Structure 1
Amino acid sequence: MTPSPDLLTDPHARFDALVLPHLDRMLAFARRRADSPEDAEDAVQEACVRAWQALGELRDAVRVRPWLYRILRTVLVDSYEKAGRRRRLVSITRLEDAHEQLVGGDVDAVFDEVVGRLVGEAVHAALADLPEDFAAPVELHDIDGFKYHEIADILGIPLGTVMSRISRGRRLLAGAIVARHGLRPTELRADAAARRPLRGGAR
């Protein structure tokens, strides 16, 4: 679609058209990463200021969403580092051990089965136990719906690294949820086995 003349000549109109439709999703992403709703709102506001200042650098309007998320994540990281905060992280080994107790190696099935039992708040809380390197790719892909190459652009890492971090991040998230909620591996395995024929028959 050809941009309207107003979008080409009026930066305010271009900003409103390109940025405003994404504010709700950006705020939801910030709330999952910030310590409070107020911090999330401040981060989105700062990201919008930076987006306005850098609007002339955006050459391809189709890529505006990953561009905005890259700015927002930079704001969140800057804020996190300035405050000198360190998240309490559960041992990665402990999380992977919890996952291995569920089932040997079927990462996606376990991820879907465990996360499917819980509301978003519980998943958010479990994500807080993961290192940022693994939490962010999982959130961007499985919650925000970004493609692998877009996540690579947002996070500034190679495509292969994105894929490996999502795979391991899902494993860690499943382990974190199991550890937090005391779910029994035998119960989950039995339930997953009961559901698989139904999924297969529906295809």
Structure 2
Amino acid sequence: MELNQFKSTIIPLRNKLLNYAKRLTDNPDDAEDAIQEVMLKLWNMRQKLEEYHSIEAFAMTTTHHHCMDIWRRKKPDAVSLEWVQAACTASTPERLLEEKDEFRLMREIIDSLPTLQRTIIQMKDVQEYETEEIAEITGCSAESIRSNLSRARKRVREMYLQSIQERKRRNEA
């Protein structure tokens, strides 16, 4: 892909990618940084872009991954107790710690899913995208999205229940 083709194919996607990044990061500066990185990555791999079924879907996925990396770097390992207390003033310190552990466990379970399932479950259940929107972004069929979402939810449920059972066994021992 030459410069003119890159300009006509990739540059028009910039606003869409930037809007998506802003939704993911909740920070215009981080979103702008993410898009600059994504554009640089797309430029560096411009010779291989035509191999992809949908360059737009690839660009959206790349943006998603980069924004998730930014989010992971910025998020603290623990949710501050002040924040949790403000959200639920009637909770005891023990309950707050349990909620923090539950949140961390769910994040770990979702992060352990295969990339496509992780992306789909985050887009559908966290970011509340419609199935058709996810299909357009990922380049998968709506049926494939529903199937992967079902598998992802089932896997999350299984891993969560398994974790809870292991915790009960440890507490009883």
TM-score by length of 1: 0.44
Q: Which amino acid aligns with 1:47?
A: V
Aligned residue pair count: 113
Q: 1:44 to 1:84 in 2, by over 3 A?
A: same
Work out which of the residue numbers 8, 32, 41 in structure 1 matches 2:32: 41
How much has 1:37 moved relative to structure 2? 0.9
- Unpaired runs of 5+ residues, structure 2, are 80-105, 111-117, 154-173
| Aligned pairs (5 A) from 1:136-155 | 136-137=123-124, 139=127, 141-142=129-130, 145-147=133-135, 150=138
Q: Is 1:55 aligned to residue 46 of structure 2?
A: yes
- Unpaired runs of 5+ residues, structure 1, are 1-7, 89-129, 167-203
Work out which of the residue numbers 110, 126, 148 in structure 2 matches 1:161: 148
RMSD of aligned alpha carbons: 3.8
How much has 1:161 moved relative to structure 2? 1.7
Q: Which amino acid aligns with 1:19?
A: I
CA displacement, residues 28-70 of structure 1 (integer Å, 9 cap, x when unaligned): 1111110311111111111101111111111257611101011
- TM superposition outliers: structure 1 runs of 4+ over 4 Å: 130-133, 138-141, 163-166
Q: Which amino acid aligns with 2:21?
A: A
Of the two structures, which has the highest relative contact order with CA contacts closer than 8 Å and spacing of 6 or more?
A: 1
Cα contact 1:149–1:159 (8 A) shared by 2? no
Q: In structure 2, the residue corresponding to 1:56 is in which secondary structure?
A: coil
CA displacement, residues 101-159 of structure 1 (integer Å, 9 cap, x when unaligned): xxxxxxxxxxxxxxxxxxxxxxxxxxxxx967534235484298242793659xxx976
